[in-house]
């Protein structure tokens, strides 16, 4: 399964193990494998169920002691993890230039630990002309001076690991910047060394682009290179030429990039637009989308992307990436994949080979906020997951409108509760824990190519979802001592300082939910069972061993009731809206509008 020579593999794992002893990676979760026998009170996997969420008695660290495992873990760390997306340029500025940076992230690690997340995903910090917020990379092995240095990066990883926080970084394999030396060489002549590393095609009739594909940023996916007389493909901005993943050298180069960061002790990758890597070899036209609404939908949606992404051959690439990752111990691959459930789940593995551990499931973002539709999707997802595949959920990221702006503050609290109670690994988008809405970005400050490209102003652009973090009540929210690259969201958003001591605040809700996940095995790793419901109600059980928890969420604004068929009474662990009196002895839950409940089924005699 591992495509390297034994000598090479051996030295890599040895190197990693040494690092592990120097700076223990986080989280054994009691089952990650801490090397202690299970009889000593620290269960790895108890007989009839998953292990209890206890601190390791030997090392005292919440989730991990760094001592190698004897038994394979029942739940690897990333299944118990709560990921947090740090959009680096908006998180914390450390030097007053108005741009968040890696040193700023280090300064906020204590906060992240306090919040209760256990892993961070850093968005790109690599050298970049910043045409697409750093997703246009000019050097895969460096740190852009705006964000720090490699030394700062190493310090960040060490400081995070010291706090039992894992660190994953963005891998952007679909495209480089047009300033990357590979592309500079590729476009220099048709016979250049790196020419075939990118996707070139002769012009169509009368010099037209080779096919009708539309880039995600708008406009044709093809750009004519005047000097060499061919078009190159760019699925995103013109300045982001797509790499040719059918070229073996490209693959090996990118796998070495992975090893570069894995050697620096990162815990894994979030892989950008993973489903895009391989394109139709015949360059067929995409069919027209009959449901496209001009002016409302992004230009790209005018066609059904049948040939520009999600081609069967992509799964071979994913499997190879996984094999590179598996040269190292205990790492994770998270894939960015916007696809319907039935296609998404193929990225867990294909043709008997392993795929990504966590293909992002964006359905709580992309689907209408409607209980019945979501119930169907959740069940379709739960039912369709391959054996041993682990679910994952997300309600916000740097490409989509903030959850508060999508569904309103009341429903954003409901969405947060679902994020933290549905089965699977959640990812929290920075700022969402404050209930941050979309910001307002004056036209002169807009940097997102999506907005800049839509000359008709039809796309608001994604900068509005990337506002600087509000840490304190100080001017500029303590984000910067200078002038932020885009403004903070307008009042009345309360900062971390303003919310941290208020248990009813958005931040208080996040803390409480993450605390409940830690305290209740059923919430963290328990099974999922839907409870039949109608109207605006979404309800399910989570079960682990003897523990059973009922979750009911009202996705509407009117009161609803749910009777949970069961014998023992319920005990409410958390309810969003105070004042609804439920009949807990008879399993009757009353929910106000915009309300949700987490209730423990009381075992007899408690
Ligand atoms: C997905 C990233 O999240 C987005 O911000 C970026 O524009 C595209 N991929 C292209 O890299
Ligand atoms: Ca800075």
Q: What is the CATH number of the domain that holds 396?
A: 3.20.20.80
Q: Do 121 and 229 share a domain, yes or no?
A: no
Tell me which residue of 83, 81, 80, 103 sits closest to 91, measured CA to CA: 103
Q: Tell me how far apart the alpha carbons of residues 597 and 590 are, in angstroms, rounded to a whole number.
A: 9
Is residue 486 predicted with pLDDT exceeding 50? yes
pLDDT of residue 12: 41
Neighbours of 119 (CB within 10 A): 26
Atom 6 in ligand 1: which residue has the minimum CA distance? Answer: 135
pLDDT of residue 455: 65
Judge if the beta carbon of residue 273 lies within 6 A of ligand 1.
Answer: yes
Q: Do 263 and 299 share a domain, yes or no?
A: no
Whether 272 is catalytic: yes
Find out whether the peptide bond into 356 is cis, omega within 30 degrees of 0. Answer: no
- Residue 464, in any domain of the structure: yes
Atom 7 in ligand 1: which residue has the minimum CA distance? Answer: 132
Judge if the beta carbon of residue 135 lies within 6 A of ligand 1.
Answer: yes
- From 273, 274, 466, the mutation candidate for ligand 1 (largest count of ligand atoms within 8 A of CB) is 273
CB 189 within 8 A of CB 195: yes
- Residue 528, in any domain of the structure: no
> Residue range 485-512: average pLDDT?
95
> Residue range 194-202: average pLDDT?
98
Local structure of 378: helix, strand or coil: helix
pLDDT of residue 457: 64
Q: Do 308 and 319 share a domain, yes or no?
A: no
Where among 451, 482, 515 does a domain terminate? 515
- From 172, 177, 399, 462, the mutation candidate for ligand 1 (largest count of ligand atoms within 8 A of CB) is 399
Is residue 581 predicted with pLDDT exceeding 90? no
Confidence of residue 13 (pLDDT cuts 50, 70, 90): very low
* Summary mean pLDDT of the chain: 89
Q: Do 386 and 450 share a domain, yes or no?
A: yes
How many domains does the chain fold into? 2
pLDDT of residue 44: 31
Is residue 9 predicted with pLDDT exceeding 50? no
- Residue 419, in any domain of the structure: yes
Q: Do 213 and 135 share a domain, yes or no?
A: no
- Residue 285, in any domain of the structure: yes
Q: Domain span at residue 182?
A: 175-242+279-312
Ligand found nearest the CA of 98: 2
Q: Tell me how far apart the alpha carbons of residues 497 and 510 are, in angstroms, rounded to a whole number.
A: 15
Tell me which residue of 332, 331, 259, 330 sits closest to 12, measured CA to CA: 259
Distance (Å) from CA 96 to ligand 2 centroid: 6
Atom 3 in ligand 1: which residue has the minimum CA distance? Answer: 399
Residues with CB under 5 Å of ion ligand 2 are 93, 95, 97, 99, 101
Q: Do 287 and 340 share a domain, yes or no?
A: no
- Residue 248, in any domain of the structure: no
Q: Tell me how far apart the alpha carbons of residues 166 and 553 are, in angstroms, rounded to a whole number.
A: 31
pLDDT of residue 250: 98
Q: Do 307 and 321 share a domain, yes or no?
A: no
Q: Do 159 and 224 share a domain, yes or no?
A: no
> Residue range 156-183: average pLDDT?
98
Out of 161-165, 374-378, 489-493, 548-552, which region has the weakest mean confidence (pLDDT)? 489-493
pLDDT of residue 71: 59
pTM of the model: 0.89
User: Which single residue is written with the structure tokens 């500025």?
Assistant: 93
Q: What is the CATH number of the domain that holds 188?
A: 3.90.400.10
> Residue range 31-47: average pLDDT?
31
pLDDT of residue 586: 87
Q: Tell me how far apart the alpha carbons of residues 153 and 72 are, in angstroms, rounded to a whole number.
A: 31
> Residue 468: CB partners within 8 Å, gap ≥ 6?
90, 91, 93, 100, 476, 477, 479, 480, 484, 485, 486, 487, 488
Is residue 603 predicted with pLDDT exceeding 90? no
- Residue 569, in any domain of the structure: no
Q: Do 430 and 449 share a domain, yes or no?
A: yes
Q: Do 411 and 319 share a domain, yes or no?
A: yes
- Residue 26, in any domain of the structure: no
pLDDT of residue 8: 33
pLDDT of residue 604: 74
pLDDT of residue 159: 98
| Pairwise pLDDT comparison (65 vs 470), residue with the higher score | 470
Q: Supply 61's token pair.
A: 């660290």
Where among 515, 533, 566 does a domain terminate? 515
In Å, how far are 41, 115, 350, 425, 433 from 334, measured between CA atoms? Answer: 33, 22, 16, 11, 22
Q: Do 450 and 317 share a domain, yes or no?
A: yes
Give 395-449 pLDDT, tens digit per residue. Answer: 999 999 999 999 999 999 999 999 999 999 999 999 999 999 999 999 899 999 9
Q: Do 93 and 207 share a domain, yes or no?
A: no
Is residue 302 predicted with pLDDT exceeding 60? yes
Give 313-353 pLDDT, tens digit per residue. Answer: 999 999 999 999 999 999 999 999 999 999 999 999 999 99
Q: Tell me how far apart the alpha carbons of residues 492 and 571 are, in angstroms, rounded to a whole number.
A: 35
- Residue 273, in any domain of the structure: no
């Amino acid at each position: 399964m591992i495509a390297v020579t034994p000598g090479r593999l051996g030295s890599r794992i040895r190197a990693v193990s040494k690092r592990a002893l120097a700076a223990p990676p986080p989280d054994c979760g009691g089952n990650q494998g801490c090397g202690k026998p299970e009889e000593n009170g620290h269960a790895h996997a108890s007989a009839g169920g998953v292990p209890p969420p206890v601190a390791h008695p030997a090392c005292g660290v919440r989730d991990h002691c760094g001592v190698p495992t004897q038994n394979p873990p029942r739940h690897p760390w990333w299944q118990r993890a709560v990921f947090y997306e740090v959009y680096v340029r908006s998180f914390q500025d450390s030097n007053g230039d108005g741009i968040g940076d890696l040193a700023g992230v280090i300064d906020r690690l204590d906060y992240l630990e306090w919040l209760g997340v256990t892993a961070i995903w850093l968005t790109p910090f690599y050298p970049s002309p910043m045409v697409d917020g750093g997703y246009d990379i000019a050097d895969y092995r460096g740190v852009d001076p705006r964000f720090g240095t490699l030394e700062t990066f190493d310090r960040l990883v060490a400081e995070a690991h010291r706090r039992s926080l894992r660190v994953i970084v963005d891998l952007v394999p679909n495209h480089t910047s047009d300033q990357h030396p590979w592309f500079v060489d590729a476009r220099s002549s048709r016979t250049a060394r790196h020419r075939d590393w990118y996707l070139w095609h002769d012009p169509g009739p009368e010099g037209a682009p080779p096919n009708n594909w539309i880039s995600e940023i708008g406009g044709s996916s093809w750009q004519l290179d005047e000097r060499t007389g061919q078009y190159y493909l760019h699925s995103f901005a013109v300045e982001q030429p797509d790499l040719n993943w059918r070229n073996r050298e490209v693959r090996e180069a990118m796998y070495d990039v992975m090893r570069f960061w894995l050697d620096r002790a990162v815990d894994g990758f979030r892989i950008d637009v993973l489903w895009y890597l391989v394109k139709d070899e015949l360059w067929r036209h995409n069919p027209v989308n009959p449901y496209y609404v001009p002016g409302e939908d992004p230009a790209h949606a005018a066609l059904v992307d049948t040939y520009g992404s999600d081609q069967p051959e992509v799964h071979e690439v994913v499997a190879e990436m996984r094999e590179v990752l598996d040269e190292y111990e205990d790492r994770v691959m998270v894939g960015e994949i916007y696809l319907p459930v039935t296609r998404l789940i193929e990225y867990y593995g294909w043709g008997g080979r392993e795929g990504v551990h966590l293909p992002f499931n964006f359905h709580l973002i992309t689907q209408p906020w409607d209980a019945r539709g979501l119930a169907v999707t959740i069940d379709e997802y739960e039912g369709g997951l391959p054996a041993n595949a682990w679910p994952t959920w997300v309600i916000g990221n740097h490409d989509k409108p903030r959850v508060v702006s999508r569904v309103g503050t009341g429903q954003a609290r409901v969405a947060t509760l679902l994020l933290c109670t549905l089965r699977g690994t959640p990812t929290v988008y920075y700022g969402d824990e404050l209930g941050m809405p979309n910001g307002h970005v004056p036209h002169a400050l807009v940097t997102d190519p999506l907005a800049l490209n839509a000359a008709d102003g039809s796309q608001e652009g994604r900068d509005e979802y990337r506002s600087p973090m509000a840490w304190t009540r100080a001017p500029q929210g303590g984000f910067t001592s200078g002038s932020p690259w885009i403004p903070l969201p307008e009042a009345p958003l309360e900062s971390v300082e303003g919310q941290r001591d208020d248990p009813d605040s958005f931040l208080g809700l996040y803390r409480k939910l993450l605390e409940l996940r830690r305290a209740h095995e059923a919430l963290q790793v328990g099974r999922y069972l839907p409870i039949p419901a109608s109207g605006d109600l979404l309800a399910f059980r989570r079960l682990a061993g003897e523990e059973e928890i009922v979750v009911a969420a009202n996705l509407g604004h009117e009161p609803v009731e749910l009777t949970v068929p069961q014998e023992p009474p319920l005990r409410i662990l958390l309810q969003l809206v105070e004042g609804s009196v439920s009949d807990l002895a008879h399993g009757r839950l009353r929910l106000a509008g915009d309300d949700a409940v987490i209730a423990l089924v009381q075992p007899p005699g408690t």
